[in-house]
């Protein structure tokens, strides 16, 4: 018997109903795959003692990615915690010399083993797990993010071409698509003084798919997320912060016209609702035909475009972290702390981070109070999903109040003093001058619900 065993098994009741059995895995983001796909129960046994969770439905790829991050943090900081997607429990890892102590928040059991031995056991598990899912689900081999993860664990696969479907459909009027792309690139250059990077262009057109006129399958949730594979099989990555959020409505209108034209062309060719891969196929044909120059690569360097998308009805959850692009570079970070009758409450952090990663958030830089936004608007805005971290919720109230100025007749008996706070359950309380000033009631800057552009302006003003 091995001294350390890390295993994963799929529950029989789940195996035939998992989302991986009916989703096109080529176009699912790694974050989504790590949250909703390949669920089962994993076990960690050290010297015959099991310290893993005693429940199932753990996402396999969350384990593969998360454990790698935890072990790196242990070797750097001496301690780290592994969190679960399905609850708030934690596995706790502490290094003492060359030993690793593993405990948890859900069990009194504690084990000690050699850190190097545990790392070796994890790497063996990760390679076997990645090999198993790649073999069992060949479409994953078309997913560029999964290929990067596989390479990190010593698994190399040759780039493959889509075997059938929209990748093989003739694209009519490529010249018109090229001309429209060129107009978008020129419009961006006129506004920011530079051509867009390929990633910025893909972000713009993914955001610009119109709700009407593109003949998009009605089940598809916008925006679309395009990713690129360069010649040689390497996933495209930009080395600069996106400037797409700074662009005017005129650029988006130009991009919306391009995507509507592509949708109409695809619909005319087939007579059926247009799936997202059709947009990738048309854009790819134009890039290959024109070799148009972006700020970082040329169109001819792109081997393939992939597209990720969600289904309508899927909503961001409490604990999801959002990255809001800053005009000055980097990102403002926010966590969804509540969804209630007031809207979606965001807990904000002062300052910006260079890359949209949860680990870069300064937990000591909490904004003055959470703000409410419209969840439907957020779903189609330029804000990025940066991960899920429920521990950030401890920094904010669970159901933030909204405020009313004293002049508003919320309740005749309560509208006194400097203002009124209203809870989600409808209860009211009078607030004093200091709380009213912090909320922004005294200077008139407070809004009960922000438009996305209003919140961006507020955050940018704080940076200045």
CA distance 87 to 117: 28
CA distance 324 to 452: 10
Output 414 or 138, whichever has higher pLDDT.
Answer: 138
Which DSSP letter does residue 108 get?
S
Quick one: pLDDT at residue 317? 77
Quick one: pLDDT at residue 178? 92
CA distance 332 to 372: 16
> Does 162 have pLDDT greater than 90?
no
pLDDT band at 335 (very low <50, low <70, confident <90, very high): very high
CA distance 251 to 114: 57
Q: pLDDT tens digits for 70-129?
A: 898 898 889 999 988 767 889 999 999 999 999 999 889 999 999 999 999 999 999 888
Buried b (16+ CB within 10 A) or exposed e, 6-23: bebeeeeeeeeebebeeb
Which DSSP letter does residue 454 get?
H
Residues in the chain: 464
CA end-to-end span of the chain: 61
DSSP string, 77-107: HSEEEEE-SSSS-EEEEEEETTEEEEEESS-
Output 381 or 433, whichever has higher pLDDT.
Answer: 433
Output 408 or 308, whichever has higher pLDDT.
Answer: 308
User: What is the set of domains in the chain, with CATH numbers?
Assistant: 4-152 (3.30.2450), 166-311 (no CATH), 320-463 (no CATH)
Other residues' Cβ atoms within 10 Å of the Cβ of residue 25: 21
> Does 463 have pLDDT greater than 80?
no
Q: Do the beta carbons of residue 458 and residue 369 sit within 8 Å?
A: no
Quick one: average pLDDT of 429-443?
85
Quick one: pLDDT at residue 307? 84
162: preceding bond cis by omega (within 30 degrees): no
CA distance 141 to 147: 7
Q: pLDDT tens digits for 381-392?
A: 667 778 788 899
Other residues' Cβ atoms within 10 Å of the Cβ of residue 109: 13
pTM beyond 0.85: no
Please enumerate in sequence order all residues whose Cβ is within 8 A of that of 384, keeping only pairs 6 or more positions apart, or say none.
322, 323, 325, 331, 356
> Does 145 have pLDDT greater than 80?
no
Let me know if 44 is exposed, middle or buried by CB neighbors in 10 A (0-12, 13-18, 19+): buried
Task: Provide the H-helix boundaries in 362-450.
Answer: 375-378, 433-439
- Find residue 104's DSSP bridge partners: 91
Q: Do the beta carbons of residue 34 and residue 387 sit within 8 Å?
A: no
Quote the tokens at residue 59.
């996402």
User: Closest Cα to residue 326, out of 250, 245, 438, 215?
Assistant: 245
User: Closest Cα to residue 25, out of 128, 149, 127, 144?
Assistant: 144
Quick one: pLDDT at residue 347? 95
pLDDT band at 412 (very low <50, low <70, confident <90, very high): very low
Output 214 or 405, whichever has higher pLDDT.
Answer: 405
SS3 178: helix
In a 13 Å sphere around the CA of 317, the CA atoms on its Cβ side amount to 11
Quick one: pLDDT at residue 366? 93
> Does 17 have pLDDT greater than 90?
no
CA dihedral 245, 246, 250, 253 (to 10 degrees): -10
Q: Do the beta carbons of residue 269 and residue 215 sit within 8 Å?
A: no
Quick one: average pLDDT of 407-415?
48
Quick one: pLDDT at residue 195? 94
């Amino acid at each position: 018997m091995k001294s350390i065993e890390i295993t994963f098994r799929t529950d029989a009741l789940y195996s035939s109903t998992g989302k991986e059995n009916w989703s096109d895995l080529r176009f699912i983001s790694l974050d989504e795959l790590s949250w909703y796909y390949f669920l089962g129960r994993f076990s960690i046994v050290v010297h015959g003692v099991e310290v893993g969770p005693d429940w199932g439905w753990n996402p396999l790829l969350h384990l593969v990615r998360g454990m790698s991050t935890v072990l790196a943090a242990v070797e750097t900081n001496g301690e780290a915690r592994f969190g679960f997607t399905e609850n708030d429990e934690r596995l706790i890892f502490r290094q003492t010399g060359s030993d690793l102590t593993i405990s948890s928040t859900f069990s009194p059991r504690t084990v000690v083993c050699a850190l190097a031995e545990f790392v070796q056991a994890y790497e063996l598990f990760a390679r076997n797990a990645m090999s198993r899912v790649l073999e069992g689900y060949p479409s994953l081999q078309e997913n560029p993010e999964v290929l990067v993860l596989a390479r990190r664990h010593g698994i190399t696969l040759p780039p493959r071409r889509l075997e059938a479907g929209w990748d093989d459909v003739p694209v009519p009027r490529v010249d018109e698509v090229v001309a429209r792309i060129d107009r978008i690139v020129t419009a961006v250059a006129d506004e920011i003084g530079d051509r867009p990077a390929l990633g910025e262009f893909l972000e713009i057109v993914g955001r610009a798919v119109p709700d009407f006129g593109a003949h998009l399958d009605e089940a598809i949730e916008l925006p679309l997320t395009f990713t690129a594979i360069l010649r040689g099989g390497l996933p495209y990555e930009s080395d600069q912060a996106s400037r797409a959020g700074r662009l005017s409505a005129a650029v988006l209108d130009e991009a919306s016209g391009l995507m509507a034209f592509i949708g109409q062309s695809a619909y005319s060719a087939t007579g059926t609702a247009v799936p997202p891969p059709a947009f990738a196929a048309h854009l790819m044909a134009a890039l290959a035909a024109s070799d148009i120059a972006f700020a970082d690569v040329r169109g001819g360097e792109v081997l393939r475009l992939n597209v990720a998308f969600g289904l309508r009805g899927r909503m961001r959850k409490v604990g999801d972290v959002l990255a809001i692009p800053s005009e000055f570079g980097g990102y403002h970070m926010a966590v969804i702390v509540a969804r209630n009758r007031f809207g979606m409450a965001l807990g904000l952090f002062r300052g910006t981070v260079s890359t949209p990663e949860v680990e870069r958030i300064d937990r000591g830089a909490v904004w003055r109070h959470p703000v409410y936004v419209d969840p439907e608007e957020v779903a189609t805005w330029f804000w990025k999903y940066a991960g899920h971290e429920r521990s950030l919720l401890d920094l904010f109230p669970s159901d933030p109040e909204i405020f009313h100025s004293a002049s508003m007749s919320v309740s005749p008996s309560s509208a006194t003093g400097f203002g009124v706070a209203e809870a989600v359950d409808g209860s009211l309380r009078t607030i004093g001058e200091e709380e009213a000033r912090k909320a922004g009631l005294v200077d008139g800057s407070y809004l009960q619900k922000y438009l996305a552009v209003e919140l961006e302006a507020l955050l940018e003003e704080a940076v200045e």
